[in-house]
């Protein structure tokens, strides 16, 4: 009877994967993890962060949490975890996608998950392409996540689904060790601390020209603002953390990137900001990627000579919208 109960627990295990994704990298990985977990017999649901609730978490045996790396987790994911009620030892796993700086994410996120009663049994990160106005196009990590990354994500999902029941019955050796606090973590912490000393967005203050805006026909900025700062249904209309502009220090530029009418720009203009980035190499990032490649943790898909140092994103892609969110597929 005991064996039957354990097998039923494995087969009918329910996993909820909660993710936030801007450009589609993290969504791609989240859905691959889900497919892998299902291959182990688990029932898996995948939900966007904005559609997730603490109440729905009660119905699942294990929770997956994933986001891009913005120094650590994104501010909306950080807020979701910060307000999470006690999960009383429920298993979880964490994952992310990132550019050149992955090292600070898990040392911050995993303790936060533990502080809210979750038991992280595993964690994994993947490189992803970077699409920001002043960043090179193509970027150092262009091409990720690719087919191999997806296969690795599926294997990770299968591993999490298979390990959780074993851990629940006492095999704690399967729990991943805490991330190593090495020089890379401290180096990234110093870089991020320097960034955070700037109280406003280093790309400039984001402004909206209502005369160019296509609302109510278009609501893409309002639908995709990471922090929920945009509400064009209000009178007066609300845009940004200041109500009429946005200078939030998180370095987000998603509303500007998505606007199909060019109604959102920065002061000074984003093209002026991007021109200042022409020819600038990110030597610290290059060194970190070189080290990661030597350690077998980074697969370089384009040589450094092909990185677009002379073509920042909005100069290489001058038409509006600067970026189009990839369509979702039914997979996952």
Nearest to 39 by CA among 158, 185, 202: 158
Which pLDDT band, with edges at 50, 70 and 90, does 10 fall under? very low
- The domain 2-180: what is its CATH number? 3.40.50.360
- Whole-Å CA distances, 290 to 87, 118, 148, 286: 40, 35, 20, 6
**pLDDT tens, residue by residue, 61-73:** 999 999 999 989 9
- The domain 205-277: what is its CATH number? 3.30.70
Residue 185 CB neighbour total at 10 angstroms: 18
**pLDDT tens, residue by residue, 23-33:** 999 999 999 99
What tokens were used for 237? 């209309």
What residue spans define the domains of the chain?
2-180, 205-277
pLDDT, position 196: 67
Q: What is the mean pLDDT of residues 287-306?
A: 95
The rounded distance, in Å, linking the Cα atoms of 241 and 7 is 51
* pLDDT, averaged across the chain: 92
């Amino acid at each position: 009877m005991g064996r039957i109960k354990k097998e039923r627990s494995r087969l009918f295990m329910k996993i909820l994967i909660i993710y936030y994704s801007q450009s589609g990298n993290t969504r791609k990985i989240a859905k691959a993890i889900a497919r892998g977990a299902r291959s182990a017999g688990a029932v898996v649901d995948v939900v966007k962060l904005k559609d997730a609730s603490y109440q729905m978490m009660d119905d699942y045996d294990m929770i997956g949490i994933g986001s891009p790396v913005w120094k650590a987790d994104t501010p909306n994911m950080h807020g979701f975890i910060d307000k999470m009620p006690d999960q009383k030892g429920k298993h979880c796993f964490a994952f992310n996608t990132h550019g050149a700086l992955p090292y600070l994410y898990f040392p911050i996120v995993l303790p936060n998950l533990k502080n809210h009663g979750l038991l992280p049994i595993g964690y994994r990160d993947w490189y992803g392409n970077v699409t920001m106005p002043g960043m090179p196009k193509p970027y150092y990590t262009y091409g990720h996540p690719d087919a191999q990354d997806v296969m690795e994500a599926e294997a990770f999902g299968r591993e999490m689904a298979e390990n959780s029941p074993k851990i629940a019955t006492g095999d704690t050796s399967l729990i991943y060790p805490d991330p190593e606090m090495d020089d890379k973590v401290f180096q990234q912490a110093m870089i991020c601390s320097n960034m955070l000393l700037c109280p406003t967005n280093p790309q400039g203050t984001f402004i909206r020209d209502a005369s160019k805006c296509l609302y109510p026909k278009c609501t893409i900025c309002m639908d995709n603002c990471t922090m929920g700062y945009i509400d064009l249904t209000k009178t007066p209309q609300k845009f940004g953390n200041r109500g009429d502009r946005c200078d939030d220090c998180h370095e987000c530029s998603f509303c500007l990137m998505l606007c199909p009418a060019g109604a959102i720009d920065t002061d000074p203009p984003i093209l002026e900001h991007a021109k200042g980035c022409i020819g600038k190499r990110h030597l610290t990032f290059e060194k970190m990627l070189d080290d990661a490649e030597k350690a077998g943790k980074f697969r370089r898909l384009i040589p450094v000579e092909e990185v677009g140092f002379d073509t920042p994103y909005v100069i290489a892609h001058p038409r509006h919208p600067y970026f189009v969110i990839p369509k979702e597929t039914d997979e996952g």
